[in-house]
Amino acid sequence: MPYIQRDARGRIESIHRQPQALASEFLEFGDAEVQAFLGQASEPENFDRLDAGFVRVVEDLIDVLLAKNLITITDLPAAAQAKLFARKSFRERVAGQAPRLFGNTGFAEVIDDTGFGPL
């Protein structure tokens, strides 16, 4: 699949598993025209990027709820806890590999952030 039949304007009119008298043109299933005809997102990478951004929002929301003691980590299912810890661990490792664009400013010694509580 799919063999397509086009209308008079050249747009896909129908899709068939096997070649037909009026549907002998073969297109790959992932072809943008086929995906549009089927109502699929024509740019799945954009949707994936949106999903990735939304996952980050959910992760930040969980952090806020934990920080405000509105939930505890044990309120989450074990699988969710494991995924959350895995993402945090990965982000910490990646952040450690990021290039330092600015040298050590010394602000850590000047600003006492211990009064802000755990972050």
Which residues, at least 6 apart from 74, have a Cβ–Cβ distance to it below 8 Å?
A: 81
Count Cα atoms within 13 angstroms, Cβ side, for 33.
Answer: 15
Residues 6, 96: Cα–Cα separation, whole Å: 54
Task: Judge whether 118 and 67 are in contact, CB under 8 Å.
Answer: yes
Element (H, E) at 14: strand 12-16
Count CB-CB contacts under 10 A for residue 36: 13
Q: Write the pLDDT tens digit of every residue in 24-70.
A: 888 887 788 888 888 775 565 667 777 888 888 898 899 899 999 99
So what's the pLDDT on residue 77? Answer: 92
Residues 33 and 22: beta-carbon distance below 8 Å: no
E strand or H helix that includes residue 57: helix 44-67
Given this model, what pLDDT does residue 54 score? 86
> pLDDT per residue over 7-28, tens digit each?
889 888 888 888 888 888 888 8
Query: How confident is the model at residue 103, as a pLDDT?
Result: 56
Query: How far is it, in rounded angstroms, from Cα 73 to Cα 87?
Result: 14
pLDDT number for residue 45 = 62
Contact 1, 29 (CB under 8 A): yes
61-112 residue pLDDT tens: 998 999 999 999 999 999 999 998 888 888 888 777 656 555 555 544 445 5
